[in-house]
Structure 1
Protein backbone atom coordinates (compact mmCIF):
# COMPACT_ATOMS: atom_id res chain seq x y z
CA UNK A 1 0.00 0.00 0.00
CA UNK A 2 1.30 3.45 -0.94
CA UNK A 3 1.86 6.14 1.68
CA UNK A 4 -0.15 8.48 -0.58
CA UNK A 5 -3.89 8.45 -1.19
CA UNK A 6 -4.74 9.27 -4.80
CA UNK A 7 -8.12 10.52 -6.01
CA UNK A 8 -8.67 10.79 -9.76
CA UNK A 9 -11.52 12.34 -11.74
CA UNK A 10 -11.70 13.12 -15.42
CA UNK A 11 -14.22 14.19 -17.99
CA UNK A 12 -14.34 15.20 -21.65
CA UNK A 13 -16.07 18.55 -22.15
CA UNK A 14 -17.55 19.67 -25.47
CA UNK A 15 -15.26 22.66 -25.84
CA UNK A 16 -11.70 23.31 -26.96
CA UNK A 17 -8.73 23.02 -24.62
CA UNK A 18 -8.01 26.77 -24.51
CA UNK A 19 -11.59 27.57 -23.47
CA UNK A 20 -11.54 24.84 -20.84
CA UNK A 21 -8.25 26.14 -19.42
CA UNK A 22 -9.64 29.69 -19.40
CA UNK A 23 -12.54 28.67 -17.15
CA UNK A 24 -9.94 28.10 -14.45
CA UNK A 25 -7.43 30.81 -15.42
CA UNK A 26 -10.08 33.56 -15.30
CA UNK A 27 -11.05 34.02 -11.61
CA UNK A 28 -14.43 35.55 -12.54
CA UNK A 29 -15.36 32.34 -14.40
CA UNK A 30 -13.72 30.10 -11.81
CA UNK A 31 -15.83 31.59 -9.01
CA UNK A 32 -18.97 30.48 -10.88
CA UNK A 33 -18.20 26.75 -10.89
CA UNK A 34 -15.61 25.86 -8.24
CA UNK A 35 -16.70 23.52 -5.48
CA UNK A 36 -19.54 21.08 -4.94
CA UNK A 37 -23.21 21.91 -5.51
CA UNK A 38 -24.61 24.61 -3.22
CA UNK A 39 -21.40 26.63 -2.82
CA UNK A 40 -20.71 30.21 -3.86
CA UNK A 41 -17.21 31.62 -4.04
CA UNK A 42 -15.33 34.83 -3.33
CA UNK A 43 -11.79 34.95 -4.69
CA UNK A 44 -9.58 37.53 -2.96
CA UNK A 45 -6.21 36.58 -4.49
CA UNK A 46 -5.40 34.71 -7.70
CA UNK A 47 -1.86 34.82 -9.07
CA UNK A 48 -1.71 31.99 -11.62
CA UNK A 49 2.05 31.44 -11.80
CA UNK A 50 4.51 29.20 -9.95
CA UNK A 51 4.69 30.43 -6.37
CA UNK A 52 1.48 32.46 -6.77
CA UNK A 53 -1.28 32.37 -4.19
CA UNK A 54 -4.95 31.63 -4.57
CA UNK A 55 -7.26 32.64 -1.72
CA UNK A 56 -10.89 31.60 -2.05
CA UNK A 57 -13.75 31.65 0.43
CA UNK A 58 -16.28 28.95 -0.35
CA UNK A 59 -19.68 29.62 1.22
CA UNK A 60 -22.07 26.71 1.68
CA UNK A 61 -25.79 27.23 1.13
CA UNK A 62 -26.26 27.29 4.94
CA UNK A 63 -23.90 30.30 5.19
CA UNK A 64 -20.85 28.41 6.54
CA UNK A 65 -17.65 29.88 5.13
CA UNK A 66 -14.56 27.85 4.29
CA UNK A 67 -11.44 29.95 3.74
CA UNK A 68 -9.07 28.07 1.43
CA UNK A 69 -5.44 28.86 0.73
CA UNK A 70 -3.64 27.41 -2.27
CA UNK A 71 -0.21 27.90 -3.85
CA UNK A 72 0.41 27.32 -7.55
CA UNK A 73 3.41 25.03 -7.98
CA UNK A 74 3.53 24.74 -11.78
CA UNK A 75 1.53 26.28 -14.60
CA UNK A 76 1.84 25.37 -18.27
CA UNK A 77 -0.59 27.53 -20.27
CA UNK A 78 -3.41 25.45 -21.67
CA UNK A 79 -1.96 22.15 -20.39
CA UNK A 80 -1.28 21.88 -16.66
CA UNK A 81 -1.96 23.50 -13.32
CA UNK A 82 -0.33 21.90 -10.27
CA UNK A 83 -1.17 23.41 -6.92
CA UNK A 84 -1.01 22.73 -3.21
CA UNK A 85 -3.99 23.18 -0.91
CA UNK A 86 -2.81 24.36 2.53
CA UNK A 87 -5.97 24.94 4.52
CA UNK A 88 -8.50 24.33 5.93
CA UNK A 89 -8.03 20.89 7.45
CA UNK A 90 -5.86 18.90 5.06
CA UNK A 91 -2.85 19.55 2.86
CA UNK A 92 -2.87 17.96 -0.58
CA UNK A 93 -1.69 18.56 -4.14
CA UNK A 94 -3.94 18.78 -7.16
CA UNK A 95 -2.80 18.29 -10.75
CA UNK A 96 -5.21 19.56 -13.38
CA UNK A 97 -4.31 18.39 -16.89
CA UNK A 98 -5.99 19.75 -20.00
CA UNK A 99 -5.82 17.72 -23.22
CA UNK A 100 -7.36 18.07 -26.66
CA UNK A 101 -9.73 15.25 -27.65
CA UNK A 102 -11.57 14.56 -30.91
CA UNK A 103 -14.89 15.41 -29.17
CA UNK A 104 -13.58 18.35 -27.13
CA UNK A 105 -11.14 18.68 -24.27
CA UNK A 106 -10.34 16.37 -21.38
CA UNK A 107 -9.82 17.66 -17.85
CA UNK A 108 -8.04 15.19 -15.56
CA UNK A 109 -7.69 15.78 -11.84
CA UNK A 110 -5.26 13.95 -9.60
CA UNK A 111 -5.34 14.73 -5.90
CA UNK A 112 -2.59 13.36 -3.64
CA UNK A 113 -3.02 13.20 0.12
CA UNK A 114 -0.97 11.66 2.89
CA UNK A 115 -2.60 8.34 3.71
CA UNK A 116 -4.30 8.85 7.06
CA UNK A 117 -7.51 7.32 8.47
CA UNK A 118 -9.20 10.73 8.20
CA UNK A 119 -8.19 11.17 4.54
CA UNK A 120 -9.26 7.61 3.72
CA UNK A 121 -12.72 8.42 5.11
CA UNK A 122 -12.85 11.55 2.92
CA UNK A 123 -11.90 9.68 -0.26
CA UNK A 124 -15.42 8.72 -1.43
CA UNK A 125 -16.84 12.13 -0.52
CA UNK A 126 -14.07 13.96 -2.38
CA UNK A 127 -14.47 11.87 -5.53
CA UNK A 128 -18.21 12.70 -5.55
CA UNK A 129 -17.54 16.39 -4.77
CA UNK A 130 -15.10 16.54 -7.71
CA UNK A 131 -17.80 15.15 -10.00
CA UNK A 132 -20.11 17.93 -8.79
CA UNK A 133 -17.34 20.41 -9.64
CA UNK A 134 -17.25 18.95 -13.15
CA UNK A 135 -21.07 19.12 -13.40
CA UNK A 136 -20.99 22.81 -12.48
CA UNK A 137 -18.19 23.44 -14.99
CA UNK A 138 -20.11 21.63 -17.72
CA UNK A 139 -23.21 23.77 -17.05
CA UNK A 140 -21.14 26.96 -17.21
CA UNK A 141 -19.59 25.92 -20.54
CA UNK A 142 -23.04 25.11 -21.96
CA UNK A 143 -24.42 28.48 -20.78
CA UNK A 144 -21.51 30.31 -22.41
CA UNK A 145 -22.03 28.38 -25.63
CA UNK A 146 -25.72 29.39 -25.75
CA UNK A 147 -24.82 33.06 -25.12
CA UNK A 148 -22.67 33.20 -28.25
Structure 2
Protein backbone atom coordinates (compact mmCIF):
# COMPACT_ATOMS: atom_id res chain seq x y z
CA UNK A 1 0.00 0.00 0.00
CA UNK A 2 1.62 3.22 -1.05
CA UNK A 3 0.28 6.65 -0.44
CA UNK A 4 0.74 10.34 0.22
CA UNK A 5 4.18 11.55 1.07
CA UNK A 6 5.99 9.39 -1.45
CA UNK A 7 9.22 10.74 -2.84
CA UNK A 8 9.09 10.47 -6.64
CA UNK A 9 12.79 9.52 -6.72
CA UNK A 10 12.16 6.44 -4.55
CA UNK A 11 8.53 5.57 -5.36
CA UNK A 12 9.47 2.48 -7.38
CA UNK A 13 11.71 1.23 -4.54
CA UNK A 14 9.47 1.79 -1.55
CA UNK A 15 6.65 0.33 0.49
CA UNK A 16 4.49 2.52 2.73
CA UNK A 17 2.19 0.93 5.30
CA UNK A 18 0.14 2.71 7.93
CA UNK A 19 -2.25 1.81 10.70
CA UNK A 20 -4.16 3.61 13.40
CA UNK A 21 -3.57 2.07 16.82
CA UNK A 22 -6.00 2.81 19.65
CA UNK A 23 -3.43 3.97 22.19
CA UNK A 24 -1.41 7.08 23.02
CA UNK A 25 1.70 7.47 20.91
CA UNK A 26 4.05 7.32 23.92
CA UNK A 27 2.81 3.78 24.62
CA UNK A 28 2.97 2.75 20.94
CA UNK A 29 6.51 4.16 20.72
CA UNK A 30 7.51 2.31 23.92
CA UNK A 31 6.15 -0.97 22.52
CA UNK A 32 8.30 -0.42 19.43
CA UNK A 33 11.49 0.53 21.26
CA UNK A 34 11.83 -1.76 24.29
CA UNK A 35 12.95 -5.34 23.75
CA UNK A 36 10.62 -6.64 26.50
CA UNK A 37 7.73 -5.50 24.31
CA UNK A 38 9.17 -6.18 20.84
CA UNK A 39 9.71 -9.86 21.50
CA UNK A 40 5.99 -10.22 22.30
CA UNK A 41 4.60 -8.90 19.00
CA UNK A 42 7.31 -8.39 16.32
CA UNK A 43 6.85 -10.11 12.98
CA UNK A 44 4.05 -11.42 10.78
CA UNK A 45 1.40 -13.83 12.05
CA UNK A 46 2.84 -17.16 13.14
CA UNK A 47 6.40 -15.84 13.59
CA UNK A 48 8.32 -15.54 16.84
CA UNK A 49 11.48 -13.61 17.62
CA UNK A 50 14.64 -14.42 19.58
CA UNK A 51 16.80 -11.40 20.41
CA UNK A 52 20.56 -11.92 20.52
CA UNK A 53 21.49 -8.28 21.24
CA UNK A 54 19.51 -5.07 21.67
CA UNK A 55 20.62 -1.50 22.25
CA UNK A 56 18.08 1.19 21.39
CA UNK A 57 20.19 4.25 20.63
CA UNK A 58 21.46 5.88 17.44
CA UNK A 59 24.19 3.53 16.22
CA UNK A 60 22.89 0.73 18.44
CA UNK A 61 21.74 -2.59 17.02
CA UNK A 62 19.00 -5.14 17.36
CA UNK A 63 20.40 -8.54 16.36
CA UNK A 64 17.64 -11.14 16.28
CA UNK A 65 16.28 -14.25 14.61
CA UNK A 66 12.73 -14.49 13.31
CA UNK A 67 11.37 -18.03 13.47
CA UNK A 68 8.86 -18.81 10.73
CA UNK A 69 5.82 -21.00 11.30
CA UNK A 70 7.44 -23.65 9.08
CA UNK A 71 10.54 -23.76 11.31
CA UNK A 72 12.74 -21.62 9.05
CA UNK A 73 15.01 -19.19 10.90
CA UNK A 74 15.65 -15.75 9.40
CA UNK A 75 18.65 -13.86 10.81
CA UNK A 76 17.91 -10.13 11.09
CA UNK A 77 19.99 -7.06 11.93
CA UNK A 78 18.70 -3.56 12.59
CA UNK A 79 20.85 -0.47 13.19
CA UNK A 80 19.05 2.60 14.53
CA UNK A 81 19.99 5.71 12.51
CA UNK A 82 17.66 8.31 14.02
CA UNK A 83 15.51 8.44 17.15
CA UNK A 84 13.11 11.26 18.05
CA UNK A 85 11.31 10.00 21.18
CA UNK A 86 7.59 9.34 20.68
CA UNK A 87 7.75 10.79 17.15
CA UNK A 88 10.11 9.05 14.75
CA UNK A 89 12.54 6.17 14.31
CA UNK A 90 14.82 5.59 11.33
CA UNK A 91 16.72 2.35 10.85
CA UNK A 92 18.71 0.22 8.46
CA UNK A 93 17.50 -3.41 8.29
CA UNK A 94 19.34 -6.34 6.77
CA UNK A 95 20.28 -9.94 7.44
CA UNK A 96 23.62 -8.96 9.02
CA UNK A 97 25.93 -6.02 9.62
CA UNK A 98 27.11 -4.48 6.32
CA UNK A 99 24.42 -6.34 4.31
CA UNK A 100 24.63 -4.75 0.82
CA UNK A 101 20.89 -5.40 0.34
CA UNK A 102 19.83 -3.72 3.60
CA UNK A 103 16.85 -1.40 3.35
CA UNK A 104 16.06 1.83 5.18
CA UNK A 105 12.84 2.29 7.13
CA UNK A 106 11.34 5.33 8.80
CA UNK A 107 8.54 5.00 11.32
CA UNK A 108 6.46 8.04 12.16
CA UNK A 109 4.21 8.04 15.23
CA UNK A 110 1.50 10.67 14.68
CA UNK A 111 -1.28 11.61 17.11
CA UNK A 112 -4.73 10.76 15.73
CA UNK A 113 -7.16 11.96 18.37
CA UNK A 114 -6.58 9.66 21.35
CA UNK A 115 -5.05 7.07 19.00
CA UNK A 116 -1.74 6.91 17.13
CA UNK A 117 -1.20 6.62 13.39
CA UNK A 118 2.00 4.76 12.66
CA UNK A 119 3.41 5.19 9.15
CA UNK A 120 6.18 2.81 8.13
CA UNK A 121 8.07 3.87 5.00
CA UNK A 122 10.65 1.41 3.67
CA UNK A 123 13.03 2.21 0.82
CA UNK A 124 15.03 -0.57 -0.82
CA UNK A 125 18.37 -0.06 -2.61
CA UNK A 126 16.86 -1.18 -5.94
CA UNK A 127 13.45 -1.76 -7.48
CA UNK A 128 14.39 -5.43 -7.95
CA UNK A 129 15.03 -5.86 -4.21
CA UNK A 130 11.70 -4.20 -3.42
CA UNK A 131 9.89 -6.45 -5.89
CA UNK A 132 11.61 -9.55 -4.46
CA UNK A 133 10.60 -8.52 -0.92
CA UNK A 134 6.99 -8.08 -2.06
CA UNK A 135 6.75 -11.23 -4.20
CA UNK A 136 8.99 -13.73 -2.40
CA UNK A 137 8.72 -12.56 1.22
CA UNK A 138 5.23 -10.98 1.09
CA UNK A 139 6.58 -7.76 2.61
CA UNK A 140 3.35 -5.78 2.33
CA UNK A 141 1.18 -8.44 3.98
CA UNK A 142 3.92 -9.14 6.52
CA UNK A 143 4.23 -5.45 7.38
CA UNK A 144 0.47 -5.11 7.76
CA UNK A 145 0.35 -8.22 9.97
CA UNK A 146 3.25 -6.93 12.08
CA UNK A 147 1.45 -3.62 12.70
CA UNK A 148 -1.71 -5.64 13.44
CA UNK A 149 0.23 -7.63 16.03
CA UNK A 150 1.48 -4.35 17.51
CA UNK A 151 -2.11 -3.02 17.70
CA UNK A 152 -3.31 -6.20 19.43
CA UNK A 153 -0.39 -6.17 21.87
CA UNK A 154 -0.91 -2.50 22.78
CA UNK A 155 -4.64 -3.19 23.23
CA UNK A 156 -3.71 -5.91 25.76
CA UNK A 157 -1.46 -3.46 27.60
CA UNK A 158 -4.17 -0.80 27.80
CA UNK A 159 -6.71 -3.36 29.05
CA UNK A 160 -4.34 -4.39 31.85
CA UNK A 161 -3.95 -0.74 32.92
CA UNK A 162 -7.70 -0.29 33.39
CA UNK A 163 -9.21 -1.05 36.82
Stretches of structure 1 that go unaligned for 5 or more consecutive residues are none
TM-score, normalised to structure 2's length? Answer: 0.83
Asked if the contact 1:45/1:53 (under 8 Å) is kept, the reply is: yes
Residue by residue over 1:19-77, the C-alpha shift from the partner in whole angstroms, topping out at 9 and shown as x without a partner, is 00000111011111111111011112111111111111111122211110111101111
Structure 2 distance, partners of 1:14, 1:55, is 29
Matches within 5 A, 1:1-148: 2=9, 5-87=13-95, 90-123=101-134, 125-148=138-161
Structure 2 distance, partners of 1:19, 1:38, is 24
Structure 2 distance, partners of 1:13, 1:49, is 24
Asked if the contact 1:12/1:103 (under 8 Å) is kept, the reply is: no
Residue by residue over 1:80-122, the C-alpha shift from the partner in whole angstroms, topping out at 9 and shown as x without a partner, is 1100012168310010111111141111100000224343143
SS in 2 for 1:134: helix
Asked if the contact 1:71/1:83 (under 8 Å) is kept, the reply is: yes
CA shift for structure 1 position 2:
4.1
TM-score, normalised to structure 1's length? Answer: 0.91
SS in 1 for 2:124: strand
| Count of equivalent residues | 148
